[in-house]
Amino acid sequence: MIRKGDFVLLVGEDGKEFLLKVEDRVFGTHKGNIDLSALTQLDYGDCVKTTKGVRYWIVRPTLYDFIKRVKRQTQIIYPKDIGYIMLKLGVGPGKRVVECGTGSGALTMAFSYYVRPFGRVYTYEAREEFSRLARTNLRKVGLDEWVVFKVARGEDGFDERDVDAAFIDVKYPEPLVKSAWDALRSGGSIGFLLPTANQVSSVLKVVDEVGFVGVEVVEILVRRYKTNPERLRPDDMMVAHTGFLLFGRKVRRGCG
Ligand SMILES: C[S@@+](CC[C@H](N)C(=O)[O-])C[C@H]1O[C@@H](n2cnc3c(N)ncnc32)[C@H](O)[C@@H]1O
């Protein structure tokens, strides 16, 4: 059963979607209103009609739905990249992760979701207003409990030691590579989001100098399709580029 305070994703027969918190209010769509308090009489998978008779199915929102709708004042990392980042960094329950460049908190949301219930995300942001926005975004979805928000510059060093993973998404990442090395445990993973190929070249040199191994550079492209079974074909437009991803592993220096 759906309870007051739960999040629901309303999927309309007209293709529109709305992510909403169930509370005592009326939600207005372009095709009639929905009394949200009435949803507590229904369950996920049920259907509700607007006052104009348009059907919306009620489904449980996933992390993807929340991240897509993050209130943003910065560029954010997209779900297509986030999935790979989580796997490459080995983020899971109990892991400790340092992030630099909190921005709007899209990636922080994913880290905090996966490290629960015993892990922690330590996220550094140079600008107070972005850190505050990210905290609000995380609190809205109940994930702020697993995050320590810090207003500080990454090049001044991270306070944590022996963390499992570090991720850097800032304009000038080179000076932060050493900070990340110092924070990581031996065997830990580092990742970067880099918008330009020039930055990839420059960071490749620094990660090598600092001593990271197992270095990988990838770019992830997602091509969407129109879902008409009789005319199956790709969408006309696609997001062609978000950023390059660079990963590496910290190891002990010297080998016999
Ligand atoms: C592109 S945004 C990060 C977006 C974030 N990954 C997300 O998914 O929402 C980059 C952020 O890094 C911050 N930043 C830039 N240089 C920094 C530094 N040296 N130390 C800490 N934060 C920095 C910027 O203020 C900005 O908010």
Instruction: Answer yes or no: is the C-beta of 126 below 6 A from any ligand 1 atom.
Output: yes
Atom 15 of ligand 1, residue of closest alpha carbon: 170
Residue 253: per-residue pLDDT: 77
Map out the domains of the chain with their CATH numbers. 7-59 (3.10.330.20), 65-224+232-249 (3.40.50.150)
- pLDDT, tens digit (0-9, with 9 covering 90-100), for 153-170: 999 999 999 999 999 999
Distance 7 CA to ligand 1 centre (A): 28
Q: Which atom of ligand 1 is nearest to the CA of 70?
A: 9
Atom 5 of ligand 1, residue of closest alpha carbon: 103
Nearest alpha carbon to residue 210 among 245, 242, 173? 173
Do 132 and 151 form a contact (C-beta atoms < 8 A)?
Answer: no
Distance 168 CA to ligand 1 centre (A): 8
Res 254 pLDDT > 80:
no
Binned at pLDDT 50, 70 and 90, residue 120 comes out as: very high
Res 149 pLDDT > 80:
yes
Residue 41: per-residue pLDDT: 96
- pLDDT, tens digit (0-9, with 9 covering 90-100), for 185-211: 999 999 999 999 999 999 999 999 999
Strands 96-100 and 163-168, sheet pairing: parallel
Distance 153 CA to ligand 1 centre (A): 9
Mutate-to-test residue for ligand 1 from 169, 177, 192, highest number of ligand atoms within 8 A of CB: 169
Give the chain's radius of gyration (CA, Å): 21
Q: Which atom of ligand 1 is nearest to the CA of 72?
A: 9
Residue 107: per-residue pLDDT: 98
Atom 16 of ligand 1, residue of closest alpha carbon: 170
The model's pTM is: 0.95
Res 4 pLDDT > 90:
yes
Instruction: Answer yes or no: is the C-beta of 171 below 6 A from any ligand 1 atom.
Output: yes
Do 199 and 246 form a contact (C-beta atoms < 8 A)?
Answer: no
Residue 255: per-residue pLDDT: 73
Do 98 and 181 form a contact (C-beta atoms < 8 A)?
Answer: no
Residue 14: per-residue pLDDT: 86
Instruction: Answer yes or no: is the C-beta of 77 below 6 A from any ligand 1 atom.
Output: yes
Cα 185 from chain centroid (whole Å):
23
Res 256 pLDDT > 70:
no
Residue 128: per-residue pLDDT: 98
Q: Average pLDDT, whole number, for the chain?
A: 96
- pLDDT, tens digit (0-9, with 9 covering 90-100), for 49-105: 999 999 999 999 999 999 999 999 999 999 999 999 999 999 999 999 999 999 999
